[in-house]
Structure 1
């Protein structure tokens, strides 16, 4: 008899076009799980603009879309109508196990059905890194809620040793280490890099340190005429976006920096195929999908030495780690890779081998299924 799995997360209306890391992870994972024997996979979402429940099929996956609550999420995840509706619906669905990927999982630690919660990030840290309005207060509130939610968990999946390190003092839960999966199509990209083409993927924001990326790139352009910086992502705030554009204008980089805005997966594949160096100088990340996807393609990485990124990159072997606040250090690594196609190829190939072992969806699905079976057996 098939094990009935209910996964609560974000899920796009078109699974070919996920937006953001959590949606991408969810789509890849549920489709890989659905291909395994003896699993009946259901995905549940809460959507604020929805007015009624709908149930749809996406291949072998059953998608349940529920109307979202208008309550502030920080309250709704513990005591609001969103949580109450979610709990009621899951009980009626009668899954053998519930797997949550969204913040609402913080409020489901005492759920009667076997439950495992994947921790994708820490809102309290993201708020500070984004330099958000009233950030200190919002961060303090979220930190308290995260502590409360983690303390109640029985089973947690950690996507990186950084997450494990952060949560171990806060919970007595069983912690399982499983990397995020990468869509198989990234492993199948025909990589034909254009010399000097550098790609940044992510929100244009303080947290992603887009301005720092442009400032470091400006120091590279005088040395390499072929150097090109491509930024794929939407602005988070108009004021920060204007600062980035002013930096581009002041350094006369208008013909050397491309601002693509948001791109879909097909466009991302096309960009990765052309990319010589992948660049992510973020101030706060856990296990960014963008890095894993670039590694799967065979592209060398330059990323920050903070949070979860050092656990994804082997220094000097699959990429380079930099201090996101050090323009000189970033520039040095960019020059090193832009100046040597041979080094790019060597590092990119090593990264691809690592990605096959850690991020391939079939491997991640098998590890996840084993966790489900262990939890259900012990419940």
Structure 2
């Protein structure tokens, strides 16, 4: 099968920065190639038009057309021409694109077009309780309406998306995946009690709650240290250019001495940092099905995460980790402290978490689910 992924991001030096959508496509593409299928990564918003091949993947860089007031529409039509040329030449059977800002609203390829719900702008604005731009909501709804098929990374995301757009689209739940052979358990460094957060420093991921939680942890266990890893970001609510700057005054002075922020690190370094951590924390308010959680689970880490929506599709509270609402600071801190003090529970949760990743979120398992969905649409 010839499969295309149309995306604004992909984790490759030639295609620029990438977030969760790009990482998800990276894992999916690798698994599909390993299963013997041909995969094309079409990345728009690039510095120029280009094609190259690497690790069995075909890459198409697409430069946006810039004409005042018409840039988006003209770029969509340019992408449509690229897709149709590949289809006509027998190099493309189906294309998948994310729902973010509805880029495919006016893209009508000759092959089936699948929208994968990683979380639209409308979806995240709703979870963050802030207004969505009319243009984005219009484009996203049109993209959903015109798509030949819908995949959602979680049932929660699919149901909420239908509700927000007043749609009754059928969707198939196919989660994000990870390479469980790449993220494997490593021996804990028991000399330090490290609480690790890795991901973007941003309000929607609960980073302004984390200082308040850690203050409570530190009061009861002064050996605990908090390690933050990930790129800083602007704060949409206050207009601040740095979420990290907003976080710092929220820490008690004594607790702050045990806080370290490394900034963004290479993807390969993340595994080492996860391996050395004691507990991983994810106090997020807005996700669809985060890959970072899967990475920590695969490495058999004890986790305290948010209990909102999607979380229960990943972690069963008290079995593979603890789930707590991020605004309940005391309860969240108590769960972290419980795991810091109980090495047997750390191992119990970690082992159960990895077993779940292998059974439900491994790359090969998820790739086969996607292939079955693609085949139904093509035929």
The TM-score with structure 2 as length reference comes to 0.88
2: distance between equivalents of 1:304 and 1:5? 34
Structure 1: state its 5+ residue gaps: none
Shift of 1:221: 1.2
Q: Select between 170-179 and 283-292 the one with higher mean Cα deviation.
A: 170-179
Is 1:218–2:215 an aligned residue pair? Answer: yes
Alpha-carbon spacing, 1:253–1:280, altered in 2? closer, same or farther (3 Å): same
1: distance between equivalents of 2:67 and 2:305? 37
Is 1:65–2:61 an aligned residue pair? Answer: yes
Q: What pairs up with 1:181-220 in 2 under 5 angstroms?
A: 181-194=177-190, 196-220=193-217
2: distance between equivalents of 1:108 and 1:302? 41
1: distance between equivalents of 2:78 and 2:225? 49
1:271 equivalent in structure 2: 273
2:149 equivalent in structure 1: 155
1: distance between equivalents of 2:162 and 2:99? 19
Is 1:44–2:42 an aligned residue pair? Answer: yes
What is the CA RMSD across the aligned residues, in angstroms?
2.5
2: distance between equivalents of 1:72 and 1:342? 61
Shift of 1:357: 0.8
Shift of 1:152: 2.4
2: distance between equivalents of 1:157 and 1:12? 22
Q: Any conservation in 2 of the 1:109–1:154 contact (CA below 8 Å)?
A: no
1:315 maps to which of 310, 314, 317: 317
Shift of 1:47: 2.5
Shift of 1:172: 4.7
Alpha-carbon spacing, 1:184–1:349, altered in 2? closer, same or farther (3 Å): closer
1:338 equivalent in structure 2: 340
2: distance between equivalents of 1:72 and 1:268? 41
Q: Any conservation in 2 of the 1:191–1:298 contact (CA below 8 Å)?
A: no
2: distance between equivalents of 1:16 and 1:70? 19
1:136 equivalent in structure 2: 131
Structure 2: state its 5+ residue gaps: 235-240
Aligned length: 364
Shift of 1:142: 2.9
Q: Deviations over 1:120-140 (max 9, x none)?
A: 012124346668xxx5252x5
Shift of 1:16: 12
1:180 maps to which of 155, 176, 183: 176
2: distance between equivalents of 1:368 and 1:307? 23
Shift of 1:297: 0.7
The TM-score with structure 1 as length reference comes to 0.88
Is 1:243–2:241 an aligned residue pair? Answer: no
2: distance between equivalents of 1:287 and 1:351? 15
Q: What pairs up with 1:82-101 in 2 under 5 angstroms?
A: 82-94=75-87, 95-101=92-98
2: distance between equivalents of 1:16 and 1:168? 32
SS of 1:210's equivalent?
coil
